[in-house]
Structure 1
Amino acid sequence: MKKAIRNSFTFVDLFAGIGGFHQALSSLGGICVSASEINKEAIIVYKNNFPETTIIGDITKNWEELPKFDVLAGGFPCQPFSKAGNQQGFEDETSGNLFYTLVDILKAHPECKFIILENVKNLADKSENWEVIRTELKQLNFYITEDPLILSPTQFGIPQLRERVYILGIRKDVRDGEKLKNGFIHMADLGDFNNLGKSKNTCNRGLAHSILEMNYPKECELSIQEHKVLNAWLEFKYITKFEKAGVPIWLDFFGYNLTDDEFYNKSFHHTTKDQNGKQIKTTAKISEMPKWKKHFIEKNRDFYIRHKDVLDIWVEKHDMISLPLIYKKFEWNCGEYDDIIDYSQTIIQFRQSGIRVKVDNYFPTLVAINNTPIIFDNNNKVLRKISPREAANLQSFKKDFILPSNFSTIYKQLGNAVNVQIVERVFEKLCGFAVLNWREL
């Protein structure tokens, strides 16, 4: 299919980030005539890699500066739909309205023939959000995907579980009428993409190691404290004979050195929501907790009581009670694999919700906060964080892409980026619905 679109076409790269869409579409013969981005650090990276492209800044203020183009591409801000945000969708008065900026741009550029947009999976969770998008784009004379197209790099042989919604559109007069007949691009029309996104395969053990480079920067090494904490928790697994607790472990809910009466009358830190849905921190006794939280706490207490003799020694040996909160929470997600008895076949993350250990098939989603995955490097025989270049591999960024020197910055930028290979494959599919002379329309 690449030969069919290899001749040049033009595109605009909106909400461009550091240029995931740019890499994908230019590799297919596209010429970027303009880009928009407001993050200063992302603009620096974009200019270093695509110095010939004009960046116009805030698209809400400068969209009238856009020249003519064939393709509108972009990952419009996901905060209104993300689980990390308030999920207000199009009711969000700031980021939620940016979709309507895209609508205004399309109204002003009737020459646009294709649309390819990306957003978080939660965009499709509420049917009203999807209906707004579908209705607006159909009114602009586009055939679009009838249902949300949810794709993950895992479906393309890339070891990162990252489900995202892709919104495809083709102008009505550009489409091949024999391929698209009733106003929509159907999932079945997409062939290999039909019904993808539903499988979260737990096989392919070891696949995550395929993105590792031979060498890694010193900054990827774990700190002394990180090593100590991970060794302590591995010892925890050994002394409890890898017994499953049924819930993530949280030391504060063991009730260390407390009798049952003291434990059940103790007030624990607790997060709840006020009338406006805003999270607030408070304290409460176990009997005052929601049913799910009470179950969680009691499971931890029961596990501790069963192993009290060895766990009391373990807590004192490693001074576990004095550790920061994120080091006192531990989740071993390798329960179905009895042969995993150390970290060499796992992926680890230090998260705000604690330490999470999972099998080494797929990396968790790269996100815009720095909780860099940790993996065992078989070449160098060391447990370490993945490097910025390896994080870029997870997003299918080209090998010659120039990364910034600041590690925290690049992890955040890659967490916000689109996967290059998915965009390439999806846009090839989209162009396959066009008539042969679409450049002349």
Structure 2
Amino acid sequence: MDDHKEPIRYLDLCSGIGGFHQAMDRLGCICVGASEIDQVCIDTYRANFPDTPMLGDVRDLDPKDLPDFQFVCAGFPCQPFSKAGKRKGFKDESRGQLFYTIMDIIDAHDEVEFILFENVRNLADRKEYWETIQEELAKRDFTITTRPIILSPSDFGIPQIRERVFILGIRSDVKNHDLLPYGQIIEDDLWLRKATCKPNAAFDILDETPSNPVRLAPDKEEALFAWDEFREEIGITTIGFPIWLSCFGLGIEFDRTFFNQIGLESMPGWKQNYVRRNRHLYQMNRDYIDAWVRRYNMLDRTKLLQKFEWNCGEDVPDIKHGLVQIRQSGIRVKRPDCFPSLVAMATTPLIWDESINHFREITIREAARLQSFDEEFVFTGSSKQVYKELGNAVNVEIAYQLAQGLLRLRNSGLTLK
């Protein structure tokens, strides 16, 4: 990396399966150790980076026993800050406190010059969270961004919408004061090579003939086509609200009777609005909807197949040309410019595959491309576990660009790959 110095050495904490490792490898950096507690993630990490020492649980590490390193990467657990968790933040004794564990490690290693952390978007939404991070790093003489850097793979032309907050820091005594005369890291100084996602970009990551494609179950596929017929017949491409069968009031003549039956007045305002709009849609198309419900046995299907949301406007001709997710909130269809976020808990996105003439899940390799993983990356564990691994991983391209930008700000002027 540098004509006069040894390669940058880094510590990979809360490492997952090695998203940061791939990014740092591209920069010629050397990993002195990785810390992870999930055994499947550990197995995957070892399969790809066999020469890297696995250090176990970061909470069990003795900081003084660690070798020297100049860079700390960490994808510390997001559950304390995520909407899906209890949102205890730094007060979460089991996971939120890991931030302070990482601070303890930095305290024991005064050779540390750089930090690069990743967490969920919600971390940036609470002023006290960001202020805590700023204060703790300022105590250690690190310059960080004045505001959270929030990035998604879609900002770099990668067809996935996945906003994450990144925390970057450089020790104040090693930064290039010509580049940072005001003592702050500015996002523009990182030289990020951003790009936009083109229409249909999501289809570009798909294999023409995937091996062992996982077809959507027949009953679910039938429900998708039923809803596509409904969409075309009723004309809901610009309707602007989710369709819920439970809000139609099927077979009930009068609105007041239905609203009283479901307790409309006790609902929050947003839900009252949805109920009223769904009820109006039903009343305007009652004959067709009643027949459609009977024809496709819609009331016998699971609740999540009784909800439908079309987010494509008039840009997508039919459901085969969109991106589909079957979530707890129902069936959602999006434009094929970007996949919805890969997350550890959600179902895998679905696409129509002409080669098998069915809807299928995106494959592991296709999901890995959404996270910018190397094509030769090896995965271990069941398919469900692998999708979870990828859902928890940092996007490699974003990590690479941010790390590269940080290293450029060093006073010594590192020569980067």
Normalising by the smaller structure, the TM-score range is over 0.9
- Judge conservation of contact 1:246–1:299 (CA < 8 Å) in 2: no
Which shifted more, 209-218 or 36-45? 209-218
For residues 127 and 264 of structure 1, the distance between their equivalents in structure 2, rounded to whole angstroms, comes to 40
Please give the per-residue CA displacement for 1:104-148, whole angstroms capped at 9, x wherever unaligned.
Answer: 111001111111111111111112211111111111111112211
TM-score normalised by the chain length of structure 2: 0.93
CA contact (8 A) 2:177 2:183 kept: no
Alignment partner, residue 272 of structure 2: 294
The answer to whether structure 1 residue 211 and structure 2 residue 205 are counterparts is: yes
Task: Kindly provide the amino acid, as one letter, of the partner of residue 12 in structure 2.
Answer: D
Rate the CA distance shift 1:370–1:219 in 2: closer, same or farther, 3 A.
Answer: farther
TM-score for both structures, normalised by structure 1: 0.89
1:392 to 364, 368, 391: 368
Q: How does 1:2-401 map to 2 (within 5 A)?
A: 8-64=7-63, 65-192=65-192, 204-242=198-236, 244-260=238-254, 261-267=256-262, 285-337=263-315, 340-377=316-353, 382-401=358-377
Partner SS, residue 185 of structure 1: coil
- Once the two structures are overlaid, the 10-residue window that deviates more, 375-384 or 255-264, is 375-384
Alpha-carbon distance between aligned partners in 1 of 2:235 and 2:120, rounded to the nearest angstrom:
39
CA contact 1:18–1:45 (8 Å) conserved in 2 = yes
Residue-pair matches, total: 413
Q: Kindly tell me: are residues 3 and 66 of structure 1, through their superposed partners in 2, closer, same or farther at Cα, counting changes over 3 Å?
A: closer
Letter in 1 for 2:202: A
SS at match of 1:220: coil
TM-aligned CA distance change 1:179 to 1:378, over 3 Å: farther
What is aligned with 1:271? Answer: none
* More deviation, 310-319/123-132: 123-132
Note the alpha carbon deviations across 1:328-362, whole angstroms, 9 max, x for none.
Answer: 0100011252xx23123210000010000011000
Greater mean deviation of Cα atoms: 404-413 or 179-188: 179-188
Q: Is the 8 A contact 1:116 1:169 kept in 2?
A: yes
Distance 1:7 1:155 in 2: 33
1:405 deviation in Å?
5.0
Task: Report the more deviating stretch, 426-435 or 214-223.
Answer: 214-223
Kindly tell me: are residues 61 and 344 of structure 1, through their superposed partners in 2, closer, same or farther at Cα, counting changes over 3 Å? same
Deviations 1:10-51 (A, max 9, x none): 111100001100111012111111110011111111111111
Letter in 1 for 2:412: L
Cα displacement string for residues 268-288 of structure 1 (whole angstroms, at most 9, x for unaligned residues): xxxxxxxxxxxxxxxxx1122
Q: Which runs of 5+ in 1 are unaligned?
A: 268-284
Q: CA deviation at 1:187?
A: 2.7
1:320 Cα deviation after fit: 0.3
Closer/same/farther in 2, CA of residues 302 and 46 from structure 1, 3 Å limit: same
1:402 deviation in Å?
0.2
Percent identical residues: 43
Determine if contact 1:206/1:345 at 8 Å carries over to the other structure. no
Evaluate the alpha carbon distance shift between residue 304 and residue 163 of structure 1 in structure 2; reply closer, same or farther with a 3 A threshold. same
- In structure 2, runs of 5+ residues without a counterpart are none
Quick one: structure 1 residues 361 and 300, their matched pair in 2 at CA, closer, same or farther if it must change by over 3 Å? same
Q: Is the 8 A contact 1:209 1:377 kept in 2?
A: no
Q: Is the 8 A contact 1:73 1:116 kept in 2?
A: yes
CA–CA separation in structure 2 for the residues paired with 1:205 and 1:116: 32
Q: Choose between structure 1 and 2 for higher RCO, CA contacts under 8 A separated by at least 6 residues.
A: 2
Query: Which 10-residue stretch deviates more, 235-244 or 159-168?
Result: 235-244
Give the whole-Å Cα distance in 1 for the aligned partners of 2:82 and 2:225.
Answer: 34
User: Corresponding residue for 2:388?
Assistant: 412
